[in-house]
Amino acid sequence: VRKENIQVELNERSYSITIGAGVLSGIGSRIRSLENVSKIFLITDENVEPHYLVKVAESLCAVDFEPEVAILPPGEETKCLEYAGGLWETLLDIGADRKSVVIALGGGVIGDLSGFVAATYTRGIRFFQIPTTLLAQVDSSVGGKVAIDLPEAKNMVGAFHQPVGVLIDPETLKTLPEAEYRAGLGEVVKYGVSLDAGFFEFLEQNVDAINERQDDVLTGLIAQCCRIKAGIVSQDEKETLGIREYLNYGHTFGHAIESAAGFGTILHGEAVSLGMLYSARLAQRLAENGIAVFRKIDEDFYQRQKLLMKRLRLFTEKADVLKRNPDFSLARLAGERLIPLMKHDKKMAHGVYRFVLPTELGKCRAYELDSMTVLESVLLGEL
Ligand SMILES: NC(=O)c1ccc[n+]([C@@H]2O[C@H](COP(=O)([O-])OP(=O)(O)OC[C@H]3O[C@@H](n4cnc5c(N)ncnc54)[C@H](O)[C@@H]3O)[C@@H](O)[C@H]2O)c1
Ligand SMILES: [Zn+2]
């Protein structure tokens, strides 16, 4: 069985991510190895609980912890003030103190919410992540961003709170619904296209194993994504230097698509997949318009990215949205509807459109578009 360890370098906040099939049952000894632990508060959701709670709780009990457990409803709606408040109250009721540890067992919703609660209870207690969706394993559990949503705005209230450790067991992906798995792969392809050409080639060479969810290939895949993100986060922990922005390939378009479709209609990773195709097209059109930094982005580049995405069964056509909802009106994703929505993206600073675009395979840069013409031609054209 393949096992990987990644050290996230953040001075006194450094921690390690352990990845491998079966590592879930090592949670007890990982927590035991922390100094001075009093109460353990384990937070999960109703979909994850039947598969993995017993294993995690038994491992903790085996080293003489008696974890308190909260099982929350699944879904983005849980990532809100009401549930955060309930968890703060529970922590108080069980006598949690500054030596307590919160463990998040679940996807990005449970991770973000639990991390936010840990960041704020008595001004911050330790937090450990056991991410169980591909998106959480390759993205949300790395980087220390924790948050809850406001009714009007996602991730609007939050903090930077690094975990004390992360355990990732690719076996948990066996029970993940197909769409959630494919959406996570959207973020995986993102790392390859924009930040790591060698990783993109690894994905091309391992499509079958990835589609079959083979443990050892997934261990390597997740490890590389964590390495890439950890490398960026260690350089720009609080997103002040603009380096962390490189993680947003496909996201300016993706957010507009998510919102045009109506939040909850398609998954974030599905919108990002379409967004990556628009982004590659935009870079290609800029190259054709003589913008020298994008000269290497041509039709071959676009088609190579799209082919990998198709082989991994990601969204590559607007019509793929009909897989989620056959009654969906594709007119909602028409180019002229997307244009005004891009203005509301938080990446749109000072009235210019800001994108992360590839300059060659595995390299990208942020680019501010001052003219609407090229953008319109991309949005109104075919994917
Ligand atoms: N903090 C960050 O840096 C960061 C980055 C990206 C996304 N996010 C956040 O992550 C959230 C999305 O995370 P997500 O995609 O993991 O969604 P999620 O947590 O809602 O999980 C998706 C679904 O899968 C279920 N599930 C989870 N693990 C499972 C398993 N192993 N088997 C079966 N079912 C399982 C969940 O119950 C849920 O229904 C969003 O709120 C987003 O804002 C945060
Ligand atoms: Zn994303």
Which band of pLDDT confidence, cut at 50, 70 and 90, is reported for residue 107? very high
Find the ligand nearest to 264 CA.
1
Residue nearest to atom 8 of ligand 1 (CA): 140
User: Is 268 noted as a catalytic residue in this protein?
Assistant: yes
Confirm or reject: Cβ of 45 under 6 Å from ligand 1. yes
pTM: 0.96
Instruction: Note the pLDDT tens digit of each residue in 310-335.
Output: 999 999 999 999 999 999 999 999 99
Task: Specify the pLDDT at position 348.
Answer: 54
Task: Specify the pLDDT at position 317.
Answer: 96
Instruction: Note the pLDDT tens digit of each residue in 331-356.
Output: 999 998 998 888 755 555 566 788 99
Which band of pLDDT confidence, cut at 50, 70 and 90, is reported for residue 383? confident
Residue nearest to atom 30 of ligand 1 (CA): 176
Measure the CA–CA gap between 265 and 271, rounded to whole angstroms.
Answer: 10
Q: Ligand 2 centre and the CA of 272: distance in Å?
A: 7
Q: Ligand 1 centre and the CA of 71: distance in Å?
A: 15
Confirm or reject: Cβ of 107 under 6 Å from ligand 1. yes
Q: Please, which residues have CB within 8 angstroms of residue 189's CB and are 6 or more apart in sequence?
A: 200, 203, 273, 276, 305, 308, 309, 312, 314
Measure the CA–CA gap between 310 and 304, rounded to whole angstroms.
Answer: 10
SS3 105: strand
Find the ligand nearest to 105 CA.
1
Nearest-10 crossing angle of helices 215-235, 178-195: 50
